[in-house]
Amino acid sequence: MPSTETPTIEFRNVTARHRHSERPALQDFSLLAPKGSLTILLGGSGSGKSTACALLTGDLRSAEGHVFLHGMDVGALRGSQLPRHRQMIGLISHSAPLLEDRSVADNILLPLELTSMNAKRREERLRDVLARFDLGGIAHAQPRSLSMGERQRAAIARAVITEPFVLIADEPSAHLDAETSPDIARAIEREQLRGMTILITTSDPHFAACFPGARLVILDKPTGQ
């Protein structure tokens, strides 16, 4: 019998354009991602991968169609609703790099500084994610001293320390070599096993192949580009 559970992520016939552009960045796009699923959007530059992420976070609104997260229409959120909505999402993105003037531990703790969580609980969360991502030995290191794999594991740890419902990883394999990419894939998969719903975007088919159990969605450039 088909499940009646509301999907965690839903794009319903979505067309989106970036500011000052008449061409669609994403055109008539639909997607259902159930709770606890892992979905990969695979496509080249201009195919709309990062646009899909921006629509989910509410940083971009669709011109047509609707984007839902846990049944809420993201495009209808206004004012203080948006910050609350974004607290449900963990984001790994090139637009949010590690801060070079903070240690690994301080970078990871950054999202918790925006909450009312007490210091003892924050430290417990920090110890947990440092262990989960094998970062304990470099907790006090500065980002500039890390390998690309270590930087990406720290970025994932920072994204999940708040225990979000959804993890969005926008091109998480960028700048990783062939040996490191599978390690990052395993780190992301472990978060799915903990019950997180995950959306990954990538232009690298080899990285996508590191997730044999994921749903793979191929994105092409919208018509007219």
Domains along the chain with CATH numbers: 1-88+164-220 (3.40.50.300), 97-163 (no CATH)
Which residue is listed with tokens 């997730």? Answer: 211
Please give the C-alpha separations between residue 124 and each of 132, 138, 188, 196, in angstroms, as whole numbers: 12, 17, 21, 20
pLDDT for 102 beyond 80: yes
According to the model, what pLDDT value does residue 94 have?
A: 83
CB 98 within 8 A of CB 155: yes
According to the model, what pLDDT value does residue 2 have?
A: 44
Collapsed DSSP state (helix, strand, coil) of residue 79: coil
CA distance 113 to 220: 39
Residue 55: phi, psi to the nearest 5?
A: -70, -40
- Greater confidence, 6 or 223? 6
Give me the chain's average pLDDT, please.
92
Helix, strand, coil percent values for the chain (each to nearest 5): 35, 20, 45
pLDDT for 9 beyond 90: yes
According to the model, what pLDDT value does residue 220 have?
A: 87
pLDDT for 224 beyond 60: no
According to the model, what pLDDT value does residue 204 have?
A: 95
pLDDT for 209 beyond 60: yes
Which residue is listed with tokens 């970036």? Answer: 18
pLDDT level of residue 1 (50, 70, 90 thresholds): very low
CA distance 203 to 184: 16
pLDDT for 225 beyond 70: no
pTM of the model: 0.92
Determine the longest span between alpha carbons in the chain, in angstroms: 54
Q: What is the pLDDT of residues 153-204, one digit of tens each?
A: 999 999 999 999 999 999 999 889 989 999 999 999 999 999 999 999 999 9
According to the model, what pLDDT value does residue 72 have?
A: 94
